[in-house]
Structure 1
């Protein structure tokens, strides 16, 4: 009777060491006392990843259970959904809303659909901020702490201006557009959003844990002011129109309500403050903030899709093609300013760490 060998093939033995090097085993999570104060969150006692891991370990921790898992996955899945939903919407509308379309009976040459460019930039800004946030909480190492948070602030600023651009052009009514605020809206938003990015980066650079109330104020106040300004076209419609006449206003109201609720969890360590250690893995305020913010973005996207279909035909006639192109160009200018701000802050961080001998 022939023998049956259960030994692994020599090819497997050759590739196993390589696979172990490429996919290192992940160390177990540790308690708050085992990580530097830089990584500790108030009332979160366990579920921390050890510091000084390789970048591969941090990437693979996407599939590990720790106190950042839900925060990362909520924004990662939301970013994928935003992009896929937009592509499906573009296909449903014949593919002509991607900003660029074929021109001529034989499909030769390209033409720019100016009316859809703000929607494309909005989707880009949403995917950018969700991806940046997911990267910050996934790759949060001691060496890249400040750089990643600067990147997150850039993503938030880009998203805020992307929202302002889309809401101003698609979701505003005639009364708001002709008002003083409507006439200077985009330049004012650009300045406020940029200042918000600068202040948040400054707070991360100069306030260290345990964080004082100064840092929280430096984050909440600028972002709150920027949000109230960005959402003003919608709040004007909510206050002056009958909600039963359109399906978008309930969506806009839901988006505002979700954002305000997420702001509560961002500002207050609830519910973990009532039972430290109980909500370390599931249910603490940072997770609730990220989940609510992700849902908020998805709701806003659906509302903007409907507003886009409502305003698309008359958009170029009301605003003019040159003004729309200038507005879209301002998005790129704001993005460049925020990126340069983050790079300057990163350089200052490097100088500060050298002075501290770290």
Structure 2
């Protein structure tokens, strides 16, 4: 038989559980075997100073934290109430699931037009980008939902988050390289190889434990900005090989430009913690730099999808014109 008594002590956020274990002897005497004192936390949300050291990442976000749970159930239960990670979770979870649905139905059933020259590779390339977007956004959402489980799980899902970003950048670059150099395949192979090498280097770096340190925040942001802007190399090559107007059409440069703008500005806001650096505590639940970054990533990914579809259409219209001229 076990009897549990609860005695409230100390601060509002904590309580002491006195767990007393009893047993019954053969002659019917009740014996006290042990008493265990366990400190538990009953509040849903905590302030920055109430967190364990490993959870303290941004001291400018003062309130609204889900404290270390050591429970998968409590992590998933946090989806049902509002806290300072809720916007981070849902701004990537919902678009991520939408991309997955598009991955299943978008290319061959809904929006993408079919041309006589359309092949299975076109569907693979477009789905390849959608897969990268799905992995990135859902991986990010999982990190923000599950990182409060424990320090080990936070480090694990943080790496998943970073690898997801690398997947998105890689899939974005390769999808446009395919259409940008559809008639010069050797260039596509060379630049794809360069992208994969950079992706591998980035992956090795993000799996290093030191990369997670909070003082690495600007370096983390800069790291991904450099990788993403490596697209400048094939674009400049295209400007040399083709004329400016054709480059605009081949990779839908205006949409790529908007995509780059949202990614870079979002990363800079995140890296320098704008706007909460100007008003600590004011953006605890809504409007923090990380939340803005999430929204900008989604907008940037939509511009890239528009660019991929536009490049696909330009490629096949060009091929159809060439085929008609030959005939």
TM-score, normalization by structure 1: 0.66
- Residue 13 of structure 1 corresponds to none
Q: Is the 8 A contact 2:276 2:282 kept in 1?
A: yes
Q: How do 1:270-281 residues align onto structure 2 when only pairs under 5 Å count?
A: 270-281=274-285
- Residue 141 of structure 2 corresponds to 134
Larger helix share, 1 or 2: 1
Residue in structure 1 matching 2:270, options 266, 269, 288 = 266
Query: What's the offset of the Cα at 1:53?
Result: 4.4
- Residue 78 of structure 1 corresponds to 95
Residue in structure 2 matching 1:194, options 190, 200, 207 = 200
Q: How do 1:126-165 residues align onto structure 2 when only pairs under 5 Å count?
A: 126-140=133-147, 141-142=149-150, 143-165=152-174
Query: What's the offset of the Cα at 1:114?
Result: 2.5
Query: What's the offset of the Cα at 1:52?
Result: 2.2
CA–CA distance in structure 2, aligned partners of residues 242 and 309 of structure 1: 13
CA–CA distance in structure 1, aligned partners of residues 92 and 175 of structure 2: 21
Q: Is the 8 A contact 2:48 2:62 kept in 1?
A: yes
- Residue 303 of structure 1 corresponds to 307
Query: What's the offset of the Cα at 1:146?
Result: 1.2
Query: What's the offset of the Cα at 1:188?
Result: 1.3
- Residue 229 of structure 1 corresponds to 230
- Residue 31 of structure 1 corresponds to 47
Q: How do 1:312-331 residues align onto structure 2 when only pairs under 5 Å count?
A: 312=316
Query: What's the offset of the Cα at 1:32?
Result: 0.4
- Residue 9 of structure 2 corresponds to none
Q: Is the 8 A contact 2:65 2:83 kept in 1?
A: yes
Query: What's the offset of the Cα at 1:273?
Result: 0.8
CA–CA distance in structure 2, aligned partners of residues 267 and 162 of structure 1: 24
Query: What's the offset of the Cα at 1:92?
Result: 3.2
The structure with the largest alpha-carbon Rg is 2
**Distance of aligned partners of 1:208 and 1:84 in 2 relative to their CA distance in 1, 3 Å threshold:** closer
Q: Is the 8 A contact 1:116 1:312 kept in 2?
A: no
Q: Which has the higher contact order (CA 8 A, sep 6+)?
A: 1
**Distance of aligned partners of 1:185 and 1:246 in 2 relative to their CA distance in 1, 3 Å threshold:** closer
Query: What's the offset of the Cα at 1:49?
Result: 0.3
Q: Is the 8 A contact 1:72 1:134 kept in 2?
A: yes
- Residue 117 of structure 1 corresponds to 124
Q: What's the Cα RMSD here? A: 3.3
What are the superposed Cα offsets for residues 9-55 of structure 1, whole Å, 9 maximum, x if unpaired? xxxxxxxxxxxxxxxxx942110011123222130101100212421
Q: Is the 8 A contact 2:221 2:271 kept in 1?
A: yes
Query: What's the offset of the Cα at 1:246?
Result: 8.6
What are the superposed Cα offsets for residues 87-117 of structure 1, whole Å, 9 maximum, x if unpaired? 24431368989xxx9xxxxxxxxxx812321
Q: Is the 8 A contact 2:250 2:315 kept in 1?
A: no
The alignment partner of 1:47 has SS state of: coil
Q: Is the 8 A contact 2:136 2:167 kept in 1?
A: yes
- Residue 19 of structure 2 corresponds to none
What are the superposed Cα offsets for residues 298-342 of structure 1, whole Å, 9 maximum, x if unpaired? 121122112122224778xxxxxxxxxxxxxxxxxxxxxxxxxxx
TM-score, normalization by structure 2: 0.72
More displaced, 54-63 or 232-241?
A: 232-241
More displaced, 304-313 or 244-253?
A: 244-253
**Distance of aligned partners of 1:221 and 1:128 in 2 relative to their CA distance in 1, 3 Å threshold:** same
Q: How do 1:172-211 residues align onto structure 2 when only pairs under 5 Å count?
A: 172=181, 184-202=190-208, 205-206=209-210, 211=214
Number of residue pairs matched by the alignment: 270
The alignment partner of 1:152 has SS state of: helix
CA–CA distance in structure 2, aligned partners of residues 32 and 136 of structure 1: 19
- Structure 2 residues without counterparts, runs of 5 or longer: 1-41, 320-327
Residue in structure 1 matching 2:72, options 51, 55, 71 = 55
The alignment partner of 2:277 has SS state of: helix
Larger strand share, 1 or 2: 2
